[in-house]
A and B are shown apart, each in its own frame.
Chain A
Amino acid sequence: MTVTSLARRWGARTSGYPVAVAVTAAAVAALTLIPLGYVAWFAVGEGWHAAYQQLVRPRVGELLWNTARLAVAAMTASAVLGTAAAWLTERTDLPGRRVWHVLLAVPLAVPAFVNSFGWVSLSPAVEGYGGAVLVVTLSYYPLVYLPAAATLRGLDPALEDTARALGLSPTRVFLRVVVPQLRPAILGGTLLVGLHLLAEFGALQMLRFPTFTTAIYDQYQATFNGPTATMLGSVLVVACLLLLVAELRLRGRVRHARLGPGSARRATPVRLGRRAPVALTAVAGIVVLALGVPLASLAYWLVTGTSTRFPVADLTAATVTTLGLGVAGAAVTVTLALPVAWLTARRPGRTSTAIERASYFGSALPGIIVALALITVCIRHVPALYQTTAMLLAAYAILFMPRAVVSLRAALAHAPPHLDDAARALGSGPLTVAVRVTLPLIAPGIGAGAALVFLAITTELTSTLLLAPIGTATLATQFWANSDAVAYGGAAPYAALMVILSAPMAYLLTQTTGRIR
């Protein structure tokens, strides 16, 4: 009997260990389900007849069509763009690929509504469906690019060599060998894009493309009929459920982890030769569109915006608060996501899957619904926490949990479980194993998840406005308070600071994800 199998038997006996994690994970899932429960409660409260009247009418059909075609097009475009860009930077001799790698990830640091604003001020022609697909794709494709690039880097190049020897051209090697290997990464990233799309408001509103979420805001705004608007949220819940099931189905049960250590050799880059200028133009084009346009627009407003002021004290205070909330929120979210991710990676099964999937709903619902759900629950059950930092951090955790879970799950999947077993066979307790073995192994995943959550918190508006301790001013709330939808001059410095604060996180992401093997 080997050490590993001994350890596994031992592990099976100490069943308290997974149970503790499972209970924690279930509690986290319950927290993230608060908004879902809120929506369900209202839908039931309104009654079947009212629900039918509200949900079955031409406008809802129009919104459903808009939301669906935007989601399908933007998710497809993000998947294609992200994967192709990852292949170019990781598997070809593209000149300056290290620099491109960073530049292709940095658009994550540009909030979608800033990007949207940049495009709208460039040309009103981007309004509507085409523009919405363009802008949303440019804002969200890095969510596919980053995991795809990381997986590509960890992929055993011998697989590709073998396929080439078997007579496959580089294109077919990519399609038949590389893409199937990247499937979990691409699907996971695309799922995140889809969830964000369902909840996206600011960018789409500016692009005059109505979707379910913008319509929910309209409902609130126009009718002050909370229950009805909330009920429209139930359509988003169903959409989210569809996405989650689809991703699960497509991911399948097939194992994708490499079989052995494989060769340590780096992949031989594909020579682009005469295609190099084309590839360079394409990559530069993405960067210009995703980064150049919004930054140029920001710069324009900073320089020429008539209302541009630099209230240094306010800017500093908002920056410090945003940084603090971002870091604390990232820490809390990642900590809460850990048991969920651990359970999914180490104890796969229906329960684990259900718990993991449950944590996605919060991010697919509009911020206003999540905030109102939390207000309703918190003020009745834990009034002491109402409008404290702790409550705000809980809201962030609910909203951005998937970003952390996806990163941690990937990292855990690549950290060999037999190392945990070996450590426990050496006499380490569960906690010691976690601290000495598991956590250091998945540190890059923790960093990546934290960075993604931080990026989201930096631009979060609705929950911060409604739930933060009174007087809290973040870059996002100040941006909002200073923008009157005509001129962004006064708001531009806050948007610029958001980008500046986020850029190092995006850079960190390009570095940490590279180390997940």
Chain B
Amino acid sequence: MRGARALAGIAAITLLATTGCSTSEPTTEAGTDPSDVTLTLYNAQHVDLAEAMVKDFTAQTGIKVQLRNGKDFELANQIVAEGAASPADVFITENSPAMSLVAAKSGFATVDPDTQRQVPARFTPPDKSWVGFAARQTVFVYNPSLLPAAQLPTSLLDLAKPEWKGRYGIAAAGADFQAIVSAVLALQGPEQTSAWLTGLKTNAKIYPGNGAILKAVNAGEIPAGVIYHYYWYKDRAESGANSSKTELHLFDAKDPGAFLSVSGAGVLKSSKHPKEAQQLVAYLTGAKGQQILSDSTALEYSIASDVPANAKLKPLSELSPPDVDLSRLNGPEVIALMQKAGLL
């Protein structure tokens, strides 16, 4: 009983303290002096990467940036739910579908032309509502002791064949995977795609994420899996505890499996500080921002301002991804096909 009373007491004090804190927090007013402006960045990228880039941005410009962290789908849906009242100025993601959702529902301000010029066209949607600032490569990770290199698939389409039953893992719900399906659909048409997906449903072991697949392949639970490149490189760079027994394999050029997923950055239409927000996006795709990205342990591909990718990675120029319209990833047709196959 004494415990309960004490608890209630602490509660009352803390309640006062915490609400007091939140109300006394500095609220941002539009001002001419950039040092007065605090941008709100809804960040779905790796937190440490975003923090490093933003820190340098503030040092360069004097514009402060506060981060709200979350996953692509969480923050994108949050922005949509917030509508015009969204406190977010800039949104950055890991994959492009979240950008497409916000572009369609809430709207981005068109990216400054100077910024557009920093990013190759293939990493930007046609309407220039946002720009790509990083990319990740789809790869086939395998355990050579379970899967001899001679048996490696040349195309992702092979994985629907009966001989692959139970031999590889996919993260079907991951954004990249739908991108792959989009690519298959664009290249093969709905009927073939549907048959291929049915094969996948039969053959593949579904994992919750890339990390889990990598771990399982390394542990020999399953011979191979479809993941993003940087999980493997990161683990190799740290300890190799989850990758030392695995190798990477790239699908053939232009194969849907060679897909390159784009991380986007965009300025929200509702932003109260559009000028500063555009500056942030310009920075993220500029030489300084890209260099920080390239140097970071995130090991994602830098794609803008001609900054070369991290030396540990296979150079971007050697990759040959299929041609997929970024704004059409995760279209309703893709989802319908995946639902029909029972993957979603």
Contact = CB atoms under 8 A, between A and B. Distances in A.
Question: In the complex, A touching B, CB below 8 Å?
Answer: yes
Nearest to A469: B22
B280 to A, nearest CB: 16
B210 interface: yes
B1 A515 contact: yes
B7 A327 contact: yes
A222 B73 CA distance: 8
Interface string B1-35: 10111011011101101110111010000000000
A170 B106 CA distance: 67
Contacts of A331: 7-8, 11-12, 14-15
Contacts of A327: 7, 10-11, 14-15
Contacts of A376: 81
Given A124-B216, A330-B7, A511-B3, A307 B238 contact: yes
Interface stretch (B114-122, B128-136, B335-343): B335-343
Grouping DSSP codes into helix (H, G, I), strand (E, B) and loop, the B interface class, with mixed when no group exceeds half, is helix
A447 B19 CA distance: 23
B175 interface: yes
A332 B206 CA distance: 41
A58 interface: yes
B214 A388 contact: no
Contact of A485 (B77, B210, B241, B339): B210
A484 interface: yes
A486 B215 contact: yes
Contact of B338 (A222, A306, A371, A386): A222
Contact of B7 (A210, A219, A383, A447): A447
A447 B175 contact: no
A57 B336 CA distance: 11
B3 A512 contact: yes
B207 A487 contact: no
A466 interface: yes
Contacts of B83: 379-380
Interface in B261-301: none
A330 B11 contact: yes
B248 interface: no
Interface string A299-333: 00000001100000000000000011101101110
Nearest to B99: A224
Contacts of B66: 470-471
Contact of A208 (B8, B71, B208): B208
A224 B11 contact: no
Nearest to A504: B3
Contacts of B172: 218, 222
B14 A372 contact: no
A206 interface: yes
A485 B344 CA distance: 21
Nearest to A383: B85
Interface in A488-502: none
A392 B86 CA distance: 17
Contacts of B7: 327, 330-331, 447, 450-451, 508
Interface string A372-388: 10011001100100111
Interface in B132-178: 172-175, 177-178
A220 B80 CA distance: 13
Interface in B164-221: 172-175, 177-178, 206-212, 214-216, 219, 221
A485 B211 contact: yes
Interface size grouping (class) on chain A: 35 or more
B40 A470 contact: yes
B70 interface: yes
Interface residues of B, number: 79
B173 A372 contact: no
A486 B18 contact: no
Contacts of A393: 15
B15 A328 contact: yes
Contacts of B101: 224
B77 A450 contact: no
Interface string A457-501: 000001001100111000001000100111100000000000000
Given A224-B97, A444-B1, A388 B339 contact: no
Contacts of A57: 339-340
A368 interface: yes
Given A447-B7, A450-B8, A375 B74 contact: no
Given A208-B207, A379-B82, A218 B344 contact: yes
Contacts of A59: 339, 342-344
A443 B6 CA distance: 11
Contacts of B255: none
By CB atoms of chain B within 10 A, which of A223, A324, A446 has the most?
Answer: A223
A324 B238 CA distance: 35
Nearest to A508: B3
B98 interface: yes
B80 A226 contact: yes
A225 interface: yes
Interface in B219-237: 219, 221, 231, 234-235
A161 interface: no
B228 to A, nearest CB: 11
Contact of B73 (A214, A221, A386): A221
B335 A225 contact: yes
B206 A210 contact: yes
B100 A224 contact: yes
A58 B97 contact: no
A503 to B, nearest CB: 14
A193 B154 CA distance: 48
A92 interface: no
A241 to B, nearest CB: 25
A428 interface: no
Contacts of B211: 484-486
B124 interface: no
13 contacts: A220-B74, A223-B330, A224-B101, A307-B238, A323-B14, A375-B81, A379-B81, A390-B19, A390-B22, A447-B3, A465-B68, A485-B208, A511-B3
Interface of B: 1, 3-5, 7-8, 10-12, 14-15, 17-19, 21-23, 25, 40, 46-48, 66-78, 80-83, 85-87, 97-98, 100-101, 172-175, 177-178, 206-212, 214-216, 219, 221, 231, 234-235, 238-239, 241-242, 330, 335, 338-340, 342-344
Lowest 6 A-B CB distances belong to which pairs?
A: A331-B11, A447-B4, A485-B211, A218-B173, A486-B211, A306-B239
Given A59-B342, A328-B19, A383-B85, 13 more contacts: A124-B219, A206-B212, A214-B208, A222-B174, A324-B14, A330-B7, A368-B77, A376-B81, A444-B1, A447-B4, A447-B7, A465-B70, A486-B215
